[in-house]
Amino acid sequence: METILDVEKLKKVAFILKTISHPIRIGIIELLTYNDELPVHEIMDKLGVEQSLISHHLSNMKLKGVLSSRREGKSIYYSLKLKEVTKVIECMEQCQNIPF
């Protein structure tokens, strides 16, 4: 029985995995999984990371289609645009007993 792989689909999956493959980015996704949207300062406070580093990761994930944002006054609020990435995080959490 021969299996035919959809190469374009595999490329999209690899692109998404590369985009989210950083501990801070995974933390951002996890925060946004449980909060519909958060302002940059709350994400920064909850992860304990400098604003410039958080902004770098947020803008990168937004540019690549994982996040969306909206401005309200001086604050920028981020939310998950590609909600399917939460399934990747859930899957990884089930793999936490794998020795590395």
Per-residue pLDDT of the chain (100 residues; tens, 9 = 90+): 677 888 898 898 889 889 999 999 999 999 999 999 999 999 999 999 999 999 999 999 999 999 999 999 999 999 999 988 888 877 777 776 666 5
Q: Looking at the structure, give the CATH architecture of the domain made up of residues 20-84.
A: Orthogonal Bundle (1.10)
Contact yes or no for 18/25 (Cβ under 8 A): no
- Model confidence, pTM: 0.84
Which tokens go with 12? 């999209």
Which tokens go with 32? 């946004």
Query: Of 25, 100, 99, which Cα lies nearest the Cα of 57?
Result: 25
The structural domains of the chain, with segments of one domain joined by +, span 20-84
Contact yes or no for 50/44 (Cβ under 8 A): yes
- Give the whole-angstrom CA distance, residue 39 versus residue 23: 19
